[in-house]
Amino acid sequence: MSTITQDMASHYSDSSKLAARARLAGGFGQAETPWFTWVARHLDLSPGDAILDVGCGPAWFWPEASRVLPAGLSLTLLDQSQGMIDEALERCRDFPITLSGVKADATALPFPDASFNAVIALHMLYHVDDLKKAIEEFHRVLRPGGMLLVTTNGTDNMQELYRLTTVFGSKPIDPAAAAFGFERAEDLMRERFGNAELVVHPQTMRVTDPEVVYLALTSYPPGETAPPEQQAAFRRAIDAAFAQNDGALDVTKQVGAIPSRKLG
Ligand SMILES: C[S@@+](CC[C@H](N)C(=O)[O-])C[C@H]1O[C@@H](n2cnc3c(N)ncnc32)[C@H](O)[C@@H]1O
């Protein structure tokens, strides 16, 4: 069973629920280099290279990435949600890249061996049950010397906020990191590629809007489907935390990228 939601198809039929979390995760961070630009700078690509974006979502990565990466890339946007692919293709259509969209599962990629110079899987592997199979597939479709770049969260990520979700019976921890945190990512990637080194994105976070916290953490079960009295208790817990901290919460941010290189 995946994290965040058991009914992934309906949850990710479009980007609206993801957007509630993105407003929290992206709206209050302070960093010298914005997240997506920082991720793109870890990719080592040449003009004309082929890149596969697995679990592309609405392709929010690409407006920043296309400013940093070489022109003339051949980009394949892959997701299991057709709604996400449609939005992703629309977002990327004016970029100087060759574009295609593919609906498929990360554990069964419909491409021949050695098709890509790079594969990226940004904040998506925590949804995948068979992680070894997905990483095996990423390895298979990469050319020798090609790079896999994975991003995910660390177990302390936004701990000050996830602590409040215990009113729903949740563990006081980022569910994405619990399923596929830094250590698990490094271990699994090292196991297949023989190399993997976590790099943590330097950023701080000060949240000033309690409503954004509420909407983000009730955008998926159990908060999304909790009874009204539990949701009301969650609201009170958020308001109390903000009141205790003069209206602004300093929150731990732990997001990182793990690159691996296919030997050969
Ligand atoms: C949290 S979003 C991440 C979107 C994007 N990569 C980003 O960083 O903004 C996760 C995406 O992965 C997709 N996804 C989840 N499991 C998948 C799977 N097994 N195969 C392909 N896509 C999957 C979802 O449909 C969703 O669009």
Ligand 1 atom nearest the C-alpha of 107 is 19
Q: Which CATH number fits domain 8-156+173-204+253-261: 3.40.50.20, 3.40.50.300, 2.60.40.10, 3.40.50.150?
A: 3.40.50.150
Pocket test for ligand 1, best of 7, 80, 131 (most atoms within 8 A of CB): 80
Determine contact, residues 257/141, Cβ cutoff 8 Å: no
Residue 24: the pLDDT is: 96
Q: Where are the domains of the chain?
A: 8-156+173-204+253-261
Q: Cβ contacts of residue 156 below 8 Å, gap of 6+?
A: 177, 252, 254
CA 239 – ligand 1 centroid, Å: 31
Q: Strand order in 204-207's β-sheet? A: 29-30, 204-207, 249-251
Residue 12 CA: nearest ligand 1 atom is 25
Nearest ligand 1 atom to the CA of 128 is 19
Tokens (6 digits) for 187: 């271990």
Whole-model pTM? 0.96
Q: In whole angstroms, what is the distance from residue 128 CA to residue 179 CA?
A: 9
- Ligand 1 atom index nearest CA of 57: 27
Which residue from 127, 136, 150, 153 has its CB within 8 A of the most atoms of ligand 1, so it is best to mutate? 127
What confidence tens digit (pLDDT) does each residue in 101-139 have?
999 999 999 999 999 999 999 999 999 999 999 999 999
- Beta-strand (E) ranges in the chain? 29-30, 50-54, 74-79, 98-103, 116-122, 142-153, 199-200, 204-207, 249-251, 255-261
- Measured in Å, residue 79 CA sits from the centre of ligand 1 at 6
Q: Which atom of ligand 1 is nearest to the CA of 60?
A: 9
248: left (phi over 0), alpha (psi -120 to 50) or beta: beta
Which residues contact residue 101 at a Cβ distance below 8 angstroms, ignoring those fewer than 6 apart?
Answer: 76, 77, 78, 85, 86, 88, 89
Ligand 1 mutation target, pool 79, 82, 111, 133, most atoms within 8 A of CB? 79
Rounded Cα distance, 138 and 133, in Å: 9
> Cα(104) to centroid of ligand 1, in Å?
11
Pocket lined around ligand 1, Cβ cut-off 6 Å:
8, 12, 18, 55-57, 60-61, 79-81, 84, 105-106, 122-124, 127-128
Closest Cα partner for 120 from 71, 164, 62? 62
Question: How does the average pLDDT of the chain come out, rounded?
Answer: 96
Closest residue CA from atom 10 of ligand 1: 124
Beta bridge partners of 74: 50, 98
Question: pLDDT value at position 1?
Answer: 43
**Rama region for 246: left / alpha / beta (φ>0; ψ in -120 to 50; rest):** left
Residues 215-244 have pLDDT tens digits of 999 999 999 999 999 999 999 999 999 999
* 222 prior amide bond cis, ω within 30: yes
pLDDT by residue for the chain (264 residues), tens only, comes to 445 566 888 899 999 999 999 999 999 999 999 999 999 999 999 999 999 999 999 999 999 999 999 999 999 999 999 999 999 999 999 998 999 999 999 999 999 999 999 999 999 999 999 999 999 999 999 999 999 999 999 999 999 999 999 999 999 999 999 999 999 999 999 999 999 999 999 999 999 999 999 999 999 999 999 999 999 999 999 999 999 999 999 999 999 999 999 998
